[in-house]
Chain A
Amino acid sequence: MIRYLARRLLSLALTLLVASVVIFLIIEVVPGDTASLMLGVNADEETRLALREELGLDVSKPVRYFNWVSGMLTGDFGISYTYRTPVSEMIADRMMVSFPLALYALALSTLIAFPAGIIAATKRGSFSDVSIMGVTQLGVAIPNFWFAMILVTIFAIKLRWFSAGGFPGWEVGFFAGLKSLTLPAFALALPQASILARVMRSSLLDTLGEDFIRTARAKGLSARQALWGHALRNALIPVLTIIGLQFSFLLAGAIIIENIFFLPGLGRMIFQAITQRDLIVVESVVMLLVFAVVAVTFLVDVAYAVVDPRLRRRV
């Protein structure tokens, strides 16, 4: 086990190292200069060079890479070129929106998907199963930005139940904050819920067909007892894995939705940073997101290995 863990950890570290190089290379070749963007069309070359010097952009790329990586190892993500504030503070601020939004969307999709998946699996082939599966097919096929547009038109403009977007801040009250995240959370949750319901259904069908459930049924457990007592618990493993992965992608995957609802989240910050060529922000956020995914995958793998020693061989 220790040997396995050491190998996985080494591989994790190497992956992150490679990722940092790849990220730096991709982002540094992006044409466009943040200094000339900040100075606009009237500034001369001399002014532009002065600003580049002020921003620390005049040092060579390898040095900048080294500074960036060594800074990150100590928790320092650098200073944003355009905002002139520490990137780590900016990320922390935006997380106050993106994290709850991702959590909210995930909660919604789970609340919808679990009952739907369970009904579909237990009443397999019935009318409810067919219609639930039909709806999930549609849910996967609807582009979420289109869905968001329709939500805004109906619930914000026509009915005026929700505001069209924006985020007042948590200090105005928990429910006010939650309310402003409701429409975006629904827009994000639709495809998630559809996928999750399908996974739930097929995973449950798999376990219901397995030997131990048959044994339990043979021992006299009712169908309901078998479902709640055994099948559901076992079916949850793949479902939870997916939820874990969905969450890390929801954090950054909300770029378009955050734009439509003008939420000051991580996705909109990075989108803006790209257009402003605030490369240090882009690099640090992408690195953080990659780290999150790699770390989740790592933890899931280790968890599986702990449960099932055969998997340790696989690496």
Chain B
Amino acid sequence: MIKKVSTVLVAVAIATLGAVGSAQAARTDITVGMQLEPPNLDPTAGAAAAIDEVVYANVFEGLTRFGADGSVKPALAKSWEISEDGLTYSFKLQSGITFHDGSAFNAEDVRFSLNRSRAEKSTNAQKQLFASIDTIKVADPETVVITLSAPNGALLFNLAWGDAIVMSPDTFDKAKTAPIGTGPFKFSRWVQGDRIELVKNPDYWGTPAKLDKAVFKFISEPTAAYAALMAGDVDAFPVYPAPENLAQFEADARFNVVVGSTEGETILSTNNKQAPFDNKLVRQALAHAINRQEIIDGAMFGYGTPIGTHFAPHHPVYKDFTANSAYDPAKAKALLKEAGFENGFKTTLKLPPPSYARRGGEIIAAQLRQVGIETEISNLEWAQWLEQVFRGKDFGLTIVSHTEPMDIGIYAKPDYYFQYDNKDFQQLMSDLTLETDDAKRAEMLQQAQGIIADDYVNGYLFQLAKTGVANADVVGLWENSPTQANDLTEVYWAK
């Protein structure tokens, strides 16, 4: 609260200074470039990152939310109490909140939204977030009580996802094209194929946005993104798609290049049930055949942090296992020989569209060739990738960045596309879900990182960097990407 007051004071001070200091007022609008256009604007009705990148924290809010540093913070719920047994959460809501259409917000809206997302016929893409919820009750208009069927240490984290935002029962059916939320920005207009415009919500319950208008412009071609920034058509490109251009932006005083972290573990996913990858020796050989630094340099022009397991390096409980799979082609060859593949073998390498996969794939193919593994590359669109690789499991190797935060749990699903089936790991994960003690959770998470690193489940390449480019005068954009969002609440122009 004190913090909030001080920000208001600062804002007032800046506003006053601005009024006195300069005749030329700072700009109050921003155009943000994004590579993909969201298919719709309802974060509870689609997995597309682009949806959250427009509406998360700007238009829609949930009980909790992610802060810029990835921590879980109060949002619509100003506080909560957890029962001794960890099964009952009572959330105290902020008062005086209205939706953008003027209707009042209350606990009933929370109950409706969460129940809708976890209903049997729900089309929420992250339905598993709500799996542990048993009932949701409205105690009074400002209190919601959630009871769980089993303790879940990650509930507050889960509720911070964009897929858990709150909408009104009266407007949810319009959310796809005309979203009505509670956030600091209101949806204004969508020119499909080109841009989405948001305007400031003057009645926002919290610290109001500093900008009056925000435009998200969709530019899919990296070349066009470069040209648009250089020509001043967009003010910021928070996830700039071509790392090769960053040096130029850095050299140009008009721009600010921000390199932060993301939750994207970029991995050489390996089909653990397909021969010869069902042999751990082969997977280990694969791991030693890969030169991570060369991939980071060649595909990402140096941006990215090597990883040795499926965990984000900036996370406090991350453990560095890169030495476990250090680049050692001789050892890789020896392991292949031991596994009975002295003369190598042939496999498929299926690559989705992002440049980390396409370029990384060409480099990995060349590296694997050095140890005798021939790969047949096929470049796929996402739809084909989902069909063939993800659902069909028809692949040997693929490269993909897993961008969901804290997603090591996917290794506990034996039918997940890379088909890793380890009973000990599965047990560990179900224990973890029940555990609510933070120290014990940290220990268990480190243990989990070690298991998959030692099993060489996948080739662990690097943590995707968030490489953003913005006009040097724009202040307040997120540096890191703890979730896929462009929170514009605190963004303003320095001059």
A interface residue numbers (CB < 8 A to B): 31-34, 36-44, 46-47, 50-51, 53-54, 82-85, 90, 93-94, 149, 152-153, 156-157, 160, 162-167, 169, 259-262, 264-265, 268-269, 272, 275-277
Contacts and interface: CB of A to CB of B under 8 A. Distances in A.
Given A149-B223, A165-B227, A83 B192 contact: yes
Contacts of A40: 46-48, 125
A292 B210 CA distance: 49
B177 A37 contact: no
Contacts of A157: 226-227, 230-231
Per DSSP, chain B at the interface is loop
B65 to A, nearest CB: 19
B320 to A, nearest CB: 26
Contacts of B126: 42-43
A262 B388 CA distance: 30
Nearest to A85: B177
B121 interface: yes
Nearest to A43: B125
A42 B117 CA distance: 14
B40 interface: yes
B386 interface: yes
B47 A44 contact: no
A32 B386 contact: yes
Interface string B161-203: 0000000000000001100000000000001111000000000
B81 interface: no
B387 A166 contact: no
Given A82-B39, A163-B233, 15 more contacts: A32-B387, A36-B390, A37-B382, A42-B47, A44-B127, A51-B123, A93-B192, A93-B193, A156-B230, A156-B231, A157-B230, A163-B228, A259-B220, A262-B221, A276-B39
Contacts of B283: none
B219 interface: yes
Contacts of A50: 120-123
Contacts, number: 149
A38 B193 contact: no
B135 interface: no
Given A156-B227, A164-B233, A264-B194, A38 B39 contact: yes
Given A31-B387, A84-B177, A268-B193, A260 B40 contact: no
Contacts of A84: 40, 176-177
A36 B387 contact: yes
Contact of A38 (B48, B128, B217, B224): B48
A165 B233 contact: yes
Contacts of A259: 220-221, 224
Contacts of B45: 38
Contacts of A31: 383-384, 387-388
Among B39, B127, B220, B221, the one with the most A-chain Cβ atoms within 10 Å of its Cβ is B39
Contacts of B391: 36
Contacts of A42: 47, 125-126, 128, 404
Interface of B: 37, 39-40, 45-48, 120-128, 176-177, 191-194, 217-221, 223-224, 226-228, 230-233, 381-384, 386-388, 390-391, 402, 404
A37 B386 contact: yes
Nearest to A155: B231
A152 B383 contact: no
A148 to B, nearest CB: 10
Contact of B123 (A39, A90, A268): A39
A186 to B, nearest CB: 15
Given A33-B383, A84-B177, A264 B233 contact: no
B381 to A, nearest CB: 5
Given A38-B47, A39-B46, A264 B383 contact: no
B228 A164 contact: yes
B233 A166 contact: yes
Contacts of A37: 382-383, 386
B223 A260 contact: yes
A260 B222 CA distance: 9
A272 B37 contact: yes
A262 B219 contact: yes
Contacts of B47: 38-43
Contact of A32 (B224, B233, B383): B383
28 contacts: A36-B391, A37-B386, A38-B46, A39-B46, A41-B390, A41-B402, A42-B125, A44-B128, A47-B125, A50-B121, A50-B123, A82-B40, A83-B176, A83-B192, A90-B192, A93-B192, A94-B193, A152-B224, A162-B231, A163-B231, A164-B224, A164-B227, A164-B233, A165-B219, A166-B219, A262-B224, A264-B194, A272-B37
Among A39, A46, A260, the one with the most B-chain Cβ atoms within 10 Å of its Cβ is A39
A254 to B, nearest CB: 13
B31 to A, nearest CB: 10
B317 to A, nearest CB: 22
A83 to B, nearest CB: 6
A92 to B, nearest CB: 11
Given A33-B387, A47-B123, A169 B219 contact: no
Nearest to A36: B386
Contacts of A46: 120
A262 B218 CA distance: 8
Contacts of A164: 224, 227-228, 230-231, 233
Nearest to B45: A38
A79 to B, nearest CB: 11
Closest 4 CB pairs of A and B: A40-B47, A264-B193, A32-B383, A164-B227
B249 to A, nearest CB: 12
Among B47, B122, B128, B227, the one with the most A-chain Cβ atoms within 10 Å of its Cβ is B227
Contacts of B194: 166-167, 169, 262, 264
A32 B228 CA distance: 32
Nearest to A261: B224
Contacts of B128: 42, 44
Contact of B124 (A47, A90, A166): A47
